[in-house]
Chains A and B, each alone.
Chain A
Amino acid sequence: MNSDTPVPVASPTSAPKRTLLEPAPGETLRRARSYFFEGLCVSSAVVVLVPLFLIFIYVVSKGLSGLSLDFFTQLPKPVGDERSGMGNAVVGTLILVAIGCSIGLPTGILAGIYLAEIGRGKLAAAIRFIADVLGGVPSITIGVFVYALVVVTMKRFSALAGGIALAIVMLPTVTRTTEELLKLVPAHLREASLALGVPEWRTSLLVVLRTASPGIGTGVMLAVARIAGETAPVLLTALGSSYWSFAIDRPIASLPVQIWRNATSPYPKWQQEAWTGALVLIIIVFLLNLLARIATSRSVKAR
């Protein structure tokens, strides 16, 4: 407001007298503008959350009708065969995630310990930075990379290649979460352990890492949820399969790839199976997210 406009209260003759409680000129407009923009923010919250519900409700209602024991025990069959399912894809996803975790978790956690405990100076900063950048690399590019590195070398698509691709996808998340959480562990715990003569490596693994483990578990679950739904890198490395397959050096089926194949097929029967697959996948991912959330709130409360 302009400071040189005469204050109404001070002018005795002209201008109606105003008490302090009356709104100043322009105040109504300001209020209105405030309500307007607040309203915009609220409505954008609605606009964002509605698609979530739509997608969620739609997948549940479409997928539920196909959910039966056959879905988990049968192979994908041609149209016409009633007893058909995605059992091999469910198992395949579990195998792929297991391989991804067995490579990605130790690497990520140990790299995280390195960053939190002994990494200093330019090297650690570079690693931290590169880990963040790796998190932003499109997953399809990771697929092409692993194809060139593993599939070409082994001369065939394989579960192992798929697992390696997933490990690379999860690596940055695991590394950075581990680092952040280790840094939150109070220093006196570590000092107490060292003062008792416990060697550094045991202190790191048994005291510091253990204290931070609930939080790290959260990060791990979120990373697992993410790789369970990854399609593009798996498509280029594990390829997919319409049979039961447990061999690590053979192509293997996975839920996301199978959903993609079925969804883009013209047969309603196959599409129905894809909806059921999508429901199963979403349930897995949401459960992992929920567990991660519960674990976090528990560990926060415990502190």
Chain B
Amino acid sequence: MSTVEVPMQQAASSAPQSDAPHGTRGADRAFRAILTMFGLTVLAVPALMVLELIRSSRLAIDKFGLGFLTGRVWDPAREEFGALPFVYGTVVTSLIAIVLAVPVSLGLAIFLSDLAPHRIRKPLGFMVELLAAIPSVVYGFWGIAVLRPWLRDTVEPVIIKYFGYIPLFEGPPLGFGMFAAGVILAIMIVPTITSVSREVMQAVPQLHREAAVGLGACAWDTIRYAVLPSARSGIIGAIILGLNRALGETMAVTMMIGNVPKVSASIFHPGYSMASVIANEFVEATSDMYVSALSKIALLLFGVALLLNLFARWLVSSTKSKLEKRA
């Protein structure tokens, strides 16, 4: 959403100088104090979150340290905890999702911002947003019921038949596993990537397009040479936001990935993800160390999401403001 310059603040700052009757000043001051307090709440929540997550994963941090990240064994009974299978599963499923989702999302974003007839742009955009609003548990359930048999009987056998000699595509077509989780994630992150990159493309000044058309460019040339280059870093930001969503997605992945804490080379094998292991085991975790190890995974997830988010938002907002300045 574009913001209009804010003359209200000027109005606000000139207010105290007016001859307000006594009593209103005090009320205003109290009002401002209350507002500031609520503003600070927004700041305090994530801060508290970091502290609380560190505190509850203290035990695991002290015992495993950084080796937690490379440990392959997850054995709650013997209190041996390594997060590598989960980190691996999260990374692999997210990458599959990005590879599958980015081309179609960009295609759709270009279609919505430049190619579609004006009459259908809005309803189409709305439909994409509805796609984003479907709860993740429903996606997962649909994944189990529809996507899984389809992948198992149609898609995976074909890939295994022709590319099965590559370890990446080896194995029995189960229909669940890291590939299946990646596919469902791809469907779920398309709306995010589409809507953000469409926003950035729409911020490209109309004059750029007109100039390109004036030079004799056809529709695709205009997009290729006038729109995409200036929107590029914003589009990268959109992709990272999609990646961020894929990393943290829980229910649909839990239902599709197979939930086996193993590191396997083939994407058709079952795996496990960081978010899924928390969802599956947190409530039933019996020992303090177990809870602590799961909290540490949550902390890890938080840290990764934080970094990706910061970077992506910086990219998107700097691109947009640059483009809007040019307009």
Contact = CB atoms under 8 A, between A and B. Distances in A.
Given A37-B220, A118-B35, A172-B42, A144 B146 contact: no
A184 interface: yes
Interface in A248-264: 256, 259-260, 263-264
A282 B138 contact: yes
Contacts, number: 301
Chain B interface mostly helix, strand, loop or mixed?
helix
B159 interface: no
Given A48-B104, A133-B309, A263-B144, A200 B46 contact: no
A25 to B, nearest CB: 14
Nearest to B245: A136
Size band of the A side of the interface? Answer: 35 or more
Contact of A260 (B38, B116, B126, B251): B251
Given A41-B107, A127-B43, A137-B305, A144 B294 contact: yes
A59 B53 contact: no
A163 B142 CA distance: 27
B282 A144 contact: yes
Chain A interface mostly helix, strand, loop or mixed?
helix
A168 B305 CA distance: 16
A198 B130 CA distance: 42
A259 B138 contact: yes
A125 to B, nearest CB: 11
A141 B53 contact: yes
B283 A133 contact: no
B319 interface: no
B31 A200 contact: yes
Size band of the B side of the interface? Answer: 35 or more
Interface in B19-37: 20-21, 24, 27-28, 30-32, 34-36
B38 A138 contact: no
A140 B86 CA distance: 15
Nearest to A137: B305
A293 B130 CA distance: 11
Interface stretch (A5-13, A50-58, A65-73, A75-83): A50-58
Given A47-B104, A137-B302, A137-B306, A145 B52 contact: yes
Contacts of B141: 259, 263, 274-275, 278
A45 B298 contact: no
B111 to A, nearest CB: 4
Interface of A: 30-31, 33-35, 37-38, 40-45, 47-49, 51-52, 54-56, 58-59, 62, 106-108, 110-111, 113-120, 123-124, 126-127, 129-134, 136-145, 147-149, 152, 157, 168, 171-172, 175, 180, 182-185, 187, 190-191, 194, 197, 199-201, 204, 208, 222, 225-226, 228-232, 235-236, 239, 256, 259-260, 263-264, 274-275, 278, 281-282, 285-286, 289, 293
Given A123-B39, A222-B133, A293-B126, 12 more contacts: A51-B187, A110-B35, A114-B35, A137-B49, A138-B247, A139-B248, A141-B49, A141-B248, A197-B18, A225-B133, A239-B283, A260-B137
20 contacts: A34-B218, A44-B106, A55-B142, A59-B138, A107-B42, A114-B35, A140-B275, A140-B279, A141-B248, A141-B298, A148-B52, A148-B295, A172-B42, A187-B8, A187-B10, A190-B12, A231-B250, A259-B138, A260-B255, A278-B138
